[in-house]
Amino acid sequence: MIIASRIAGFGHYAPERRVDNLELELKLGLSPGWIELRTGIRSRRWAAATETLTDIAAKAGDMALDEAGVDRNKVALTLLATSTPDHLLPPSAPLLAFRLGLSASGAIDLAGACSGFVYALVLADGFVRAHGKPALVVAANILSRRINMKERGTAAVFADAAGAVLLMPSAVRDSGVIGVELIQEGQNYDTIQIPAGGSKRPLESGFDIDEMRITMPDGRAVFAHAVRMMTQSGARAMERAQLSSNDIARFAPHQANSRIIDAVCNQLLIAPDATLRTIGEFGNSSAATIPLSLSLANKERCFASGECVLLAAAGAGMAGGAVAFRFA
């Protein structure tokens, strides 16, 4: 009987180009140390000019599939969480599935911004439980091509990366996704945005190119919203899973800002040494940060049977959520 899903493989990819803070601080007219002091970021990865979103997503997906050792003809669903698809149309997920050799897989993009991986994981878990077939979840972004160098608060933060997990059916009770809380604050919808390019403000002659880049006018407001939403959803996900903070072996928050991570850990009473932190080396790649962190952590020390992890995120659109997950 299929009563749960399990993570059978992890994957990640970060582009080779490493951009240190000093390089950006010189461009942005900032004093040395300004970026790390405010964000916790020391460096980030930016994709090469020849790399596409599908390129980096495929590298993470390949790793997860190889680690799982799954027959690729058995994978039935591919979900790609991204805010930077190769094109507005068509979606990138069908091309990703084709490149990975997933001939029997349906495929769709999910535009969930920083929370995209959390939402995709929940949807993939439901698919695996309902249909008893494997599902691949990939989160990938090339945000370096959407940076506005006139806005130092965002230019210093965003990065490129991809992460992936392969979900398989499981008959182990009380395992896999055991607690979920998905939330939104639509009243704060426009705190992070790319103003133009959608149907509301289509591209027309004479438009300002900066309107096609990320803007975050009020970083303080975003900070407060993110801390509140990640704390709230994390606490409710643990409650639904009947877990306490002491039961969380590893916490994988969205890597937006080290001070946000610290504040959420403090409010959830999660020990600092249980918290995965990749922001210092890899920056903020939006939806990709959580699966990237999970894959790197698994490489360092494999997730053990019975180990409980908590995932939490909040971001653009003020969509957020958390997942409590127990490894089988």
Q: Looking at the annotation, which residues are catalytic? A: 114, 254, 284
CA-closest candidate to residue 234, choices 181, 190, 279:
181
**Cβ–Cβ < 8 Å for 168, 76:** no
Question: 110's torsion region: left (phi>0), alpha (psi -120 to 50) or beta?
Answer: beta
CA-closest candidate to residue 250, choices 226, 276, 230, 219:
276
In DSSP terms, which residues pair with 134 in a beta bridge?
none
What is the DSSP secondary structure assignment for residue 184, as one 8-state letter?
E
DSSP labels, 267-297: HHT--GGGB---HHHH-B-GGGHHHHHHHHH
Spatial distance between the Cα atoms of 322 and 209, rounded to a whole number of angstroms: 35
- Token pair recorded at residue 15: 């582009």
Spatial distance between the Cα atoms of 254 and 233, rounded to a whole number of angstroms: 13
Considering only CA atoms, give the Rg of the chain: 19
Backbone angles phi, psi at 142, to 5 degrees: -120, 80
- Token pair recorded at residue 252: 């994988």
CA-closest candidate to residue 81, choices 44, 51, 108, 46:
108
- Token pair recorded at residue 81: 């969480």
Neighbours of 30 (CB within 10 A): 17
Spatial distance between the Cα atoms of 11 and 190, rounded to a whole number of angstroms: 32
HSE of 203 in the Cβ direction (CA atoms, 13 Å)? 7
